[in-house]
């Protein structure tokens, strides 16, 4: 299949994260087409914008932007018309909807979503907790966690925990090792949501083999034996079922999809915990 490319310019007066996520989510829907991304964060002055416009002139394409200043917006749109580059304010349709519903106008504040408020510091605290409790560390204070992830080796526990921490959830992950019982305290915890992560034996073996290859280690052990891995997963399933812990199969899930499912489970868990 022949793959075609186009230039995608992402112009933001903040970090550009919103534009990157929107641009990639939309571009991913077009098979055989890839975007050459040009990201311009923290564009807040005319001088900075002119440098952006110069690059757009050199490589015309689609322009997505989140600029709140009218002068900058008008100058960018003018330049895009001159180069034949379609331009769209990603937040403008949302602002119009909010204004119509709320009956009030917004206040232009570049980067307002990244203010150092209580939510921001909550995320920092969650990240510090999660990093300190990675891979079964500090099991004595598990009750302080919001989420506890259990699973055999290579079920994406650590990256999922870090993603959840960035959402403000204190997360610890505990590996399930053959012949080693999990911490007994898990069966008495009420506050944290405990989630079991599983994957198909084939997927686990593949990831483990790649891991050993990168480490230039011997791959003849039971660590990558398909039958042994299947037994590990079956044992973990029995543990999860016995304790009625929710289970997520990560075989075909991205980290983001797994985390989203856990966030929903945590919301339901908190409601039940509060009710009790």
Binding-site members for ADP are: 151-158
> Do 142 and 189 form a contact (C-beta atoms < 8 A)?
yes
Token pair listed for 127: 């990240």
The length of the chain is 276
Runs of H (alpha helix) within the chain:
17-27, 46-58, 70-83, 92-102, 118-132, 157-166, 201-215, 226-243, 255-275
How many CB atoms sit inside 10 A of residue 269's CB? 20
Annotated binding site: 151-158
CA nearest to 177, candidates 203, 151, 215, 142: 151
């Amino acid at each position: 299949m022949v793959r075609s490319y186009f230039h995608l310019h992402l112009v933001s007066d903040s970090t550009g994260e919103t534009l990157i996520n929107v641009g990639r989510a939309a571009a991913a829907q077009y098979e055989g087409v890839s975007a050459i991304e040009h990201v311009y964060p923290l564009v807040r002055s005319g001088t900075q914008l002119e440098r952006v416009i110069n690059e757009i002139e050199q490589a015309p394409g689609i322009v997505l932007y989140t600029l709140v200043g009218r002068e900058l917006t008008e100058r960018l749109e003018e330049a895009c018309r001159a180069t034949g580059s379609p331009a769209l304010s990603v937040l403008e349709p949302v602002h119009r909807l909010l204004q119509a519903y709320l009956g009030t106008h917004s206040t232009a504040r570049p980067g307002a979503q990244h203010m150092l408020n209580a939510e921001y510091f909550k995320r920092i605290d969650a990240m510090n907790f999660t990093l300190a409790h990675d891979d079964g560390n500090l099991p004595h204070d598990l009750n302080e966690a919001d989420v506890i992830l259990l699973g055999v080796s290579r079920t994406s526990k650590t990256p999922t925990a870090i993603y959840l921490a960035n959402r403000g959830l204190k997360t610890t992950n505990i590996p399930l090792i053959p012949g080693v019982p999990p911490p007994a305290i898990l069966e008495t915890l009420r506050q944290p949501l405990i989630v079991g992560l599983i994957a198909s034996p084939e997927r686990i073996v593949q990831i483990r083999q790649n891991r050993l290859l990168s480490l230039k280690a011997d791959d003849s052990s039971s660590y990558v034996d398909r039958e042994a891995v299947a037994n590990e997963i079956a044992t973990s399933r029995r543990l999860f079922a016995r304790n009625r812990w929710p289970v997520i199969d990560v075989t075909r899930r991205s980290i983001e999809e797994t985390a989203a499912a856990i966030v929903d489970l945590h919301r339901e868990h908190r409601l039940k915990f509060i009710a009790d």
